[in-house]
Structure formats: structure tokens, C-alpha cells
Amino acid sequence: MKALICSGGRYESEANAQIRRCIMDGWIECLGHDNVMSANISGAAAVIAATAPDLVIGIGSYLPESTYFGEVSREARRLGKTTLFWATEDPYEQDASYRILHDFDAIFSCDRWGVNFYTHPHAWHLPLAGCHKRHYVPIDAESRKPIDVLFCGVAFTSRLEIVDDLRTTLAGLNLCFIGPGWGKLGHGFSDRRIGNEQLIELYGQTRIVLNLGRSLHFENRRHMITPSSPGPRTFEAALAGTVQFFHEDTYEIRRYFTAAEVPAFSNQAEFGRLLEKHLGDAEHALCTAELAQRRALSEHTYAHRAHHVIEMLKTNGLA
């Protein structure tokens, strides 16, 4: 089976580009290097015409008005190939989902609750994952971890509110908050943007990684869908072998990790207890990280997701 991954519209964010590369790696792991190609959406139709892949996979955001999959779909269908889209930005832009309804045989949504709102006859949930090649780091119990608490991501309102609530508990710790919007909070907070590779390196120097949800919705007014699935950082951090505390505004985390693997908190008191337990007990922290990494390696890489896609398509007679 050959697969072509199409993405890279002009408004693709670096975060999405990173996920696209990881998805690509997952499919390569699944199908082999020679059977997977990636093409920019602008010329993907020509690539399809020339290479006739069995699966044409659109991924990423469907929100930019210029993201037009009509040509890709046209060429794939002309050749009788299967088209699918993996919406990796759901449900934050779900009002725009009508733009992909006609062009794909199947739609996979990264959000388990949001997928219910698709009217497409073949819409399924497919959570994001981690990349074995890019995110897995063997755990080194002896490594120095100068950062007590790390968070990397945009300072959305929800995240600012959570951190504001945790400030007294975080006082005195060596903090590293990186991403647009954090700088105003002072020492330990920075507006920098860093690459995914740098982030994985930072994970290795960190005792606790915060996993905080997102409150910014671009176009999600119609159904006001509250996201349910954890973001990709959950799986990435687990693969990187770090302890992460998950802010539990969704119970779906437990579909992927147990509380022993990824502990969760809902408020300052619970966070304080987790912090005490993990900062004060290196053995316990190591055990948590190892359990999470083991789980991610065995169930939550993009290769697992690729296998799942193929299975779903076959089960439903689409491949």
C-alpha cells in the first residue's frame, strides 16, 4: 500500500508542520520508506496523477479559506483511490468543517467528542500521538534536571488562569514557561518560540512538565464544542520520558494513560500534592515517567495511528 500525505497550505503553522512531519514518520514506520510520500497541497494533484498512491491523506487545518482540496480529491477519485482527512485542529475550527465534507471518503478527527458533529457518513476519532523517531528519548535516571516545572505553548487565557491559580504553589521553584504571551509574568517566563527538537531537549532537563488545555477557539461558535481529547504534547512528553501533570478538564486522558502514568490535577491543592509527591520523591517520579513512556511506546505513536486508519478503512470497505 502506498500513501501520499497532503498538507502545507500557505497558512500552515509551524506547530502543524511539525505534526505533519511526525505523521509522515508514523506512516513510514507503518508502510515503509518507499511507500510514503508527502506533497504540498499546491502540487499534490500532479503527484497523485504521476504516482497513483492508494491512500491520499489530507491533514492539518481546514480553516484557511485558501486550503482547497478539490484538485487533490479530483485526481484521487479519477484514479479510484481512497481519500481521507485527518483533522488535527478539531474542534477549534469546526464551523469550517463543511470545507472538507465533499472531498474525502473518510474523515478522522483528533477530537473524540467533536467527531460527533460531523455529518460525513464515515467520520471517526483518531487522537494525535507521539513520534517514535522525533520524541522518544531513553530515560536517564541520573540526568541533571535543573528545571522544576516546564510548560511550552501559547499563553491562552485558560493557561494563564491556571498558572495564576498555581502561582503560590510554584513560588520558589525553577520555572520555565516558554511561548507567546508568557513573558509578561516575569522571571521564569518567556515569549520565545522554540522548535520541537529543542522542546524535547528541555523535557530531558525537566522534573515536571505541565499539560494545560487550550481556550482559544477560532471558529467554533455553532455547536460550541468543548474539546475532549488531550493534545499531542501529552503523547510527546510521555515518549520523551518526562513526568507530566495533566490539568484534568477532560476525563479522556484516562483512555490513554492511567493516573500512575500521567497524574492529573484540577486545582491548586491537588497540584500542590502532586508536586510534593514528585519533587520530593525522585524514585516515584522516575517510575511515573517510565510507566508513561512504556504506554506511549506501546500504544500512542503515529505508527499506531496509521495502523488504526488502515484497519478502519478496511473494516468499512474503503480500502
Partner 1 sequence: MTVIYNTNSTHNPNSYLTLAVMDAARQVFGDDDVVLADNRTLAPLAAAGRHDVLLCLDGQRLHEGLLRRVRHAFPTMVLWLFEDPFMLDYNLRNAALFDFVLTNDPGCTADYGAKGHYMPLAASRRFHHRDIKPDADLDYDIFFAGTMWPNRVRSLRRILTAFPDARLKLVCPTNEYLPPLPGDLARLAIPWPVSHSSFIDFANASRVTLTMFREYASHGDIGQATAPGPRLFELACSGTAQVVECGDAMQPGRFEALRGIELVRSSEDLVRSVRRLLHDPLLRASQAIAAQDCVLASQLYAHRLQAVRGITGGHYGVRTTPAPPAAATRRLRVLMCTHSTIHSNEWGGVEVYQQTVAAMLERDADILFWLRRDGQCQLVDGAGLVLERFDMHVIGWLDSLTDAAEEAAFSDVLGQYDVDLVHFQHLGHHAASLPIIAKACGVGTVFSAHDFFLVCSRYTLLNHEQVFCDIGHKSISACDICLRAAEGLPAGAQQTRRAFMVEVIASIDMFLFGTPSSEWLMLQVYPALARHRRLVLGIPMPRGTATDMKRHHAVAPDGRLVIAVVGNFLRSKGADMVMSLIEEANPALFRFHLLGAPEAQYGEVLARLDRPNVTCHGRYAPGDTGLLAQADVALHLSIWPETYCISLSEIWQAGLIPVVSDIGALGDRVQHGVNGFKVRVGDASAVLDTLELLRASPALRRTVRGAIGPHLWTDAGEYAARLLDTYRSVTATRPLGDARLGLDAGQLHLLPHATWKSLAPPRHIFDPSRRSGVRLELPASIQDWSHVQGSEVYIDSVCGIAPAMLAQGRFQPATELLVSGWSFVPDLGFDGQVQLALVGETAVIFCPASRDVRDDIMASFPAAPRRSGFTARITLRGKWCEGRYLVAIINSFGARAAFCLTGLSVTVQDGRIVDAAQRAPSNETVTRAFYLVAAQTGEEPGLVLPQVPVAASAWHGGQGLRHHIDRISGQPGGQISGQPSTGPDLDAQADPTGFTVDGWAFTPGAGLAGRLYVVLVDPEQGIQIVLPAPRELRGDLPAYFPDAPLCGGFRVRASLRAGDGWRDGRFECVLVNSVDGFAALQVTGWRVEISEGRILDATLAEPDVARIDRVFAVLSGRWRPAAPAPAIPIMLAAPVIEIRRAVVRKLLPRPDPAPGGRRRAAVP
Q: Report the candidate in 69, 68, 59 with the shortest Cα–Cα distance to residue 21.
A: 59
What's the distance, CA 299 to chain centroid?
Answer: 14
Q: How far is the CB of 217 from partner 1 (least distance, A)?
A: 8
> Which member of 8, 9, 60, 231 binds partner 1 (CB under 8 A)?
9
Positive or negative, the CA dihedral 239, 240, 242, 243 is negative
169 binding partner 1? (CB under 8 A): no
Q: Report the candidate in 54, 16, 23, 49 with the shortest Cα–Cα distance to residue 38.
A: 23
Rg (CA), the chain: 20
Run of H or E residues at 148: strand 147-152
Stretch that binds partner 1, among 143-151, 262-270, 273-281, 299-307 (CB under 8 A): 262-270
218 binding partner 1? (CB under 8 A): yes
Helix (H, G, I), strand (E, B) or coil at 135: helix
CA 129 to CA 26: how far, in whole Å? 9
Stretch that binds partner 1, among 6-14, 17-25, 169-177, 291-299 (CB under 8 A): 6-14
Eight-state DSSP code of residue 241? T
Q: How far is CA 170 from CA 64, 254, 268, in A?
A: 38, 26, 10
Q: How far is the CB of 136 from partner 1 (least distance, A)?
A: 29
Stretch that binds partner 1, among 51-59, 129-137, 210-218, 298-306 (CB under 8 A): 210-218
Cβ 266 vs Cβ 209: under 8 Å: no
Binding mask 170-209 for partner 1 (x = CB under 8 A): ----------xx----------------------------
Question: How are the residues of the chain apportioned to helix, strand and coil, as percentages rounded to the nearest 5?
Answer: 40, 15, 40
> Which member of 6, 123, 225, 313 binds partner 1 (CB under 8 A)?
225
Give the CA dihedral 211, 215, 221, 223, nearest 10 degrees: 40
Counting residues that bind partner 1 (by CB under 8 A) gives 63
96 binding partner 1? (CB under 8 A): yes
CA 5 to CA 9: how far, in whole Å? 12
> Which member of 141, 194, 269, 282 binds partner 1 (CB under 8 A)?
269
**62 or 203: CB nearest partner 1:** 62
Burial of 17 (0-12, 13-18, 19+ CB in 10 A): middle
Stretch that binds partner 1, among 16-24, 151-159, 195-203, 280-288 (CB under 8 A): 151-159
> Which member of 30, 249, 300, 303 binds partner 1 (CB under 8 A)?
249
> Which member of 226, 284, 297, 318 binds partner 1 (CB under 8 A)?
226
**18 or 301: CB nearest partner 1:** 18
> Which member of 98, 121, 197, 282 binds partner 1 (CB under 8 A)?
98
Q: How far is the CB of 228 from partner 1 (least distance, A)?
A: 4
Q: How far is the CB of 263 from partner 1 (least distance, A)?
A: 11
Cβ 61 vs Cβ 86: under 8 Å: no
Eight-state DSSP code of residue 251? T
Q: Hey, what's the cell of 264?
A: 492529573
71 binding partner 1? (CB under 8 A): yes
Q: Which residues bind partner 1 (CB under 8 A)?
A: 9-11, 42-43, 45-46, 63-68, 70-71, 73-74, 77-78, 95-96, 98-99, 102, 112-113, 116-117, 119, 154-158, 160-161, 165, 180-181, 215-219, 221-228, 248-252, 254, 259, 266-269
